């Protein structure tokens, strides 16, 4: 078992896609040679957001919708850390949707993992932003009216640094995506198709399995326009893999360059020079 | 009218429909999601609007818009979600727009838990959002009262053009009790001639929530505080329960008041005379009656499901005239009859 798995009792329904995701993420972390002490997982709230608690690393229990700004804050102070924000589609795309947009714009070196089950699991089955139109639930008895949200298309339209789609039924593919996303220098978004066996009877394991396919070798993830087109593919066929990536300068590098220092934690000689003229009495 | 057995959350929802609620905007959070579930079925049946927004912030501003358009509108949530709505509630108060907000409180602070709590008392009665304003706050203690106060909430919101909060808790929302739906005959309300309706042939409507001129803003604040003064004179509601000539006055609202009624009864069997003052309106607060009864009883015992919030208002009412004792359980814990009675006996030396 991966050293990143702990013994905390898991509170997910039997058969939930989250189990595979948890295993694949823990294995990806250990295969990358990371130590638990170097990793911070920031949770939102939801079934998905329980995952960080089951992983043996530093955990910051965020709140519903806000895991991205919390992760941003942690990483801004200590850019050496591997910071991962992890939550569900409701949390990341609904309650916290605005934060996602602005994180893409700033490009902090964090990874955002979204367990996308196209439903609100923890609160017992209401439609989420990624639920299909006409999805029937306890609070949408006539079916949802809104069209569903397309996170990957949104991210590419904003020239995100890295975005991929995985599926909890594709172990090797998902692990490889996790590894690439975590190693990526810059903002990386991973949308994971994660069947909720209890509240989503439409987008089941079989529904996904019949539609997903890996992006072919010759696919070029560096062309924004063709990647955008690819990101619109949803329905009969759903592509898996790294859909778009673009090497860009990251937030912490840009800000420290402006300040002339390496981090916020250790006062450097540069820090002294900023105040040199004023000779402040730090003693 | 027939009595039916209903869950508190369903009962508030049904009462809202009967009170003429035209639109409801929600977002799921335990322990009140049943309000949304119930309304998602019943509102369309009545040809009315139910909508689940992408967040509590979106839902309170949907309320803001619908209220400005002159419709009866409601939203509901619990603790964390109510915190997110506070900005909108301040704007509703500032724009003098009627709306009903239900808080089925849970344990806090932070995410806390989903157990019942009264720890949102300060947030509800002291403002919650920014600026000088007040919200009418109603504290039901039974499922029947949830129903009755929902009718009242819509009426008071329209009467005073002000947001009204129904401050329940997870226990009231989840418990089942028999209820009857008897819509009261309230006096007629003035027409909403301020509403944004898109009508032709009159001056444009202009609903504002700011005044950059400090003199103007002060005048506005004076005006709404005159309104609050009127609310304090006319809308105070409370219940007195128990013995006359008590040795101690108990004060508690909502779920706690149910426990305190048992305490009063059990104490009577032990030869201890107690009376309970149960505020029904938490703002406006029944200060005068508390002061009067406190002086007659000689001491006050305030019990809450929090670390001590309403007790500050009780102390202000009593103004040092007699001792005020407090007992609170928090984090979703509920004070028991035995523990409460033991504390009372210790204080009285009986
Ligand atoms: C401010 C706030 N609003 C609402 C909630 C209730 N809540 C908890 S989890 C959740 C949504 C869960 O859906 P999702 O993010 O898709 O995660 P899943 O459970 O499906 O994994 C909601 C609405 C909350 N905890 N805080
Ligand atoms: S409710 Fe759905 S997402 Fe949550 S644990 Fe159960 S199957 Fe998984
Ligand atoms: Mg979900």
Instruction: Quick: pLDDT tens for B214-260.
Output: 999 999 999 999 999 999 999 999 999 999 999 999 999 999 999 99
Please check whether the domain covering B239-348 is classified as CATH 3.40.50.980.
no
CB pair distance less than 8 Å for B37 and A64: no
Nearest CA to ligand 2 atom 2: A196
Cβ neighbours of A138 in B, within 8 Å? 37, 40
Ligand 2 atom, smallest distance to A117 CA: 3
Instruction: State the best of B10, B28, B33 to mutate against chain A, taking most chain A CBs within 10 Å.
Output: B28
Interface with B, mutate which of A63, A139, A149 (most B CBs under 10 A)? A139
User: What DSSP letter does each residue of B175-237 carry, written as one string?
Assistant: -EEEE------PPP----TTS----SSSPPP---S--SSHHHHHHHHHHHHHHHHHHHHH---
Query: For B273, which DSSP code?
Result: -
Residues of B with CB under 8 A from a CB of A: 26-30, 33, 36-37, 40-41, 44, 50, 52, 54-56, 80, 110-111
**pLDDT tens for the 283 residues of chain A, in order:** 889 999 999 999 999 999 999 999 999 999 999 999 999 999 999 999 999 999 999 999 889 999 999 999 999 888 899 999 999 999 999 999 999 999 999 999 999 999 999 999 999 999 999 999 999 999 999 999 999 999 999 999 999 999 999 999 999 999 999 999 999 999 999 999 999 999 999 999 999 999 999 999 999 999 999 999 999 999 999 999 999 999 999 999 998 888 887 767 665 544 444 444 444 444 4
Given an 8 Å threshold on Cβ–Cβ distance, is B44 in contact with A142? yes
Report the separation in Å between the CA atom of B189 and the middle of ligand 1, taken as the mean of its atom positions: 39
Nearest to A162 by CA among A189, A192, A193: A189
Query: In this predicted model, what pLDDT tens digit does every residue of B126-176 receive, in sequence order?
Result: 989 999 999 999 999 999 999 999 999 999 999 999 999 999 999 999 999
> Cβ neighbours of residue A254 under 8 Å, at least 6 residues apart?
none
CATH of domain A18-248: 3.40.50.970
The CATH code belonging to domain B4-198+212-234 is 3.40.50.970
The reply to whether residue A139 touches residue B111, judged by beta carbons under 8 angstroms, is: no
Which residues in chain A are closer than 8 Å to B110, comparing Cβ atoms? Answer: 63
* CA distances (Å), origin B83, targets A65, A123, B129: 14, 18, 8
The beta-carbon neighbor of B111 closest among A63, A140, A142 is: A63
Domain ranges for chain A: 18-248
**What is the location of CATH 3.40.50.970 in chain B?**
4-198+212-234
CA gap B52, B59 in Å, rounded: 8
Phi-psi region of B41 (alpha: psi -120 to 50; beta: other; left: phi over 0): alpha
* Percentages (nearest 5) of helix, strand, coil residues in chain B: 45, 20, 40
Burial class from Cβ neighbours inside 10 Å (0-12, 13-18, 19+) for residue B99 reads buried
């Amino acid at each position: 078992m991966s050293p990143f798995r702990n013994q905390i009792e898991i509170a997910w329904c039997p058969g939930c896609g989250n189990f595979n995701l948890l295993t694949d993420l823990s294995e990806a972390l250990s295969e990358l040679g990371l130590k638990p002490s170097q990793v911070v997982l920031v949770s939102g709230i939801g079934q998905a957001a329980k995952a960080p608690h089951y992983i043996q690393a530093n955990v910051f229990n965020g709140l519903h919708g806000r895991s991205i700004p919390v992760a941003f804050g942690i990483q801004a102070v200590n850019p050496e850390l591997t910071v991962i924000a992890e939550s569900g589609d409701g949390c990341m795309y609904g309650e916290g949707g605005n934060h996602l947009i602005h994180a893409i714009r700033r490009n902090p070196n964090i990874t955002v993992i979204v367990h996308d089950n196209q439903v609100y699991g923890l609160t017992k089955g209401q439609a989420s932003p990624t639920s299909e139109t006409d999805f029937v639930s306890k609070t949408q008895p006539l079916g949802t009216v809104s069209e569903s949200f397309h996170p990957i298309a949104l991210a590419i339209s904003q020239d995100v640094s890295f975005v991929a789609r995985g599926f909890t039924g594709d172990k090797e593919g998902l692990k490889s995506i996790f590894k690439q996303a975590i190693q990526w220098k810059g903002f990386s978004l991973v949308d994971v198709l994660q069947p909720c066996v209890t509240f989503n009877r439409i987008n089941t394991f079989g529904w996904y399995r019949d539609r997903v396919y890996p992006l072919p070798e010759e696919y070029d993830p560096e062309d924004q326009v063709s990647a955008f087109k690819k990101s619109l593919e949803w329905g009969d066929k759903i592509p898996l893999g790294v859909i778009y990536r673009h090497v860009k300068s990251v937030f912490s590098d840009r800000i420290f360059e402006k300040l002339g220092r390496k981090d916020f934690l250790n006062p450097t000689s540069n820090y002294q020079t900023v105040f040199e003229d004023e000779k402040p009495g730090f003693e | 009218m027939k009595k039916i057995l209903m869950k508190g959350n369903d009962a508030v929802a049904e009462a809202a429909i009967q009170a003429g609620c035209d639109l409801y905007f929600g977002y799921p959070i335990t322990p009140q999601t049943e309000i949304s579930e119930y309304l998602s079925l019943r509102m369309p049946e009545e040809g009315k609007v139910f909508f689940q927004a992408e967040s509590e912030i979106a839902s309170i501003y949907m309320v803001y818009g619908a209220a400005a358009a002159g419709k009866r509108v409601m939203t509901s949530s619990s603790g964390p979600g109510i915190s997110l709505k506070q900005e909108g509630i301040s704007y509703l108060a500032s724009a003098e727009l009627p709306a009903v907000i239900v808080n089925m409180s849970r344990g806090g602070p932070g995410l806390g838990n989903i157990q019942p709590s009264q720890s949102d008392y300060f947030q509800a009665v002291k403002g919650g959002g920014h600026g000088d304003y007040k919200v009418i706050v109603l504290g039901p203690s039974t499922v029947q009262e949830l129903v009755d106060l929902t009718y009242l909430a819509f009426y008071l919101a329209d009467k005073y053009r002000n947001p009204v909060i129904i401050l329940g808790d997870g226990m009231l929302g989840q418990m089942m009790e028999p209820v009857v739906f008897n819509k009261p005959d309230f006096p007629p309300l003035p027409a909403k001639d301020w509403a944004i309706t898109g009508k032709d042939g009159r001056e444009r409507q202009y609903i504002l929530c700011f005044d950059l001129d400090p003199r103007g803003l002060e005048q506005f604040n004076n005006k709404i505080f005159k309104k609050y003064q009127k609310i304090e004179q006319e809308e105070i509601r409370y219940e007195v329960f128990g013995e006359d000539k008590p040795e101690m006055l108990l004060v508690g609202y909502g779920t706690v008041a149910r426990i305190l009624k048992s305490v009063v009864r059990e104490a009577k069997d032990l030869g201890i005379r107690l009376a309970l003052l149960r505020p029904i309106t938490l703002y406006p607060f029944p200060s005068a009656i508390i002061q009067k009864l406190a002086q007659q009883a000689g001491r006050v015992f305030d019990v809450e499901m929090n670390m001590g919030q309403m007790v500050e208002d009780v102390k202000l009412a009593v103004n040092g005239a007699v001792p005020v004792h407090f007992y609170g359980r928090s984090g979703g814990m509920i004070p028991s009859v035995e523990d409460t009675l033991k504390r009372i006996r210790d204080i009285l030396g009986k």
